[in-house]
Amino acid sequence: MRFVIHEKTGPYRIKIGDVPGADKIDSNSKLLDYEIHICACGLSQNKPFCDGSHRITRDEEPGKVYVYTENKERVKAGHFYKEQEKV
């Protein structure tokens, strides 16, 4: 089991025109303005792309830990974590 903490509550927005190698695309191409959204909240069901699931993190309070089930239900961290084993 692995716990990964995500602090962002929205995606990384990457403009195609800013990606290395974009200089090879025709400078008149509308593709250069196209933006892709990469999930940074960890909740997308379509990784690496954002699927809008981050919206459920909008009311998170700074400094608090939230845990989401696979069904995207929020549970209290204290009810989720097992007691820590000493290493």
Task: Return d(Cα 9, Cα 43) in angstroms, integer.
Answer: 10
In whole angstroms, how close is the CB of 52 to ligand FES at the nearest point? 6
Q: How far is the CB of 37 from ligand FES (least distance, A)?
A: 7
Q: Residue written as tokens 């909240």?
A: 41
- What are the distances in angstroms from CA 76 to CA 2, 26, 61, 66? 18, 51, 13, 6
Q: Is the dihedral of CA 68, 59, 8, 36 positive or negative?
A: positive
The structure tokens 């699927």 sit at 51
- The whole-angstrom separation of Cα 65 and Cα 77 is 6
Q: Which is nearer to ligand FES, 9 or 32 (CB)?
A: 9
C-beta of 62 vs 78, nearer to ligand FES: 62
Residue span 8-47 as binding mask against ligand FES, x where in contact by CB under 6 A, dash where not: --xx---------------------------xxx-xx---
- Applying CB under 6 A, among 15, 16, 53, 82 the residue interacting with ligand FES is 53
Rank residues 10 and 17 by Cβ distance to ligand FES and give the closer one. 10
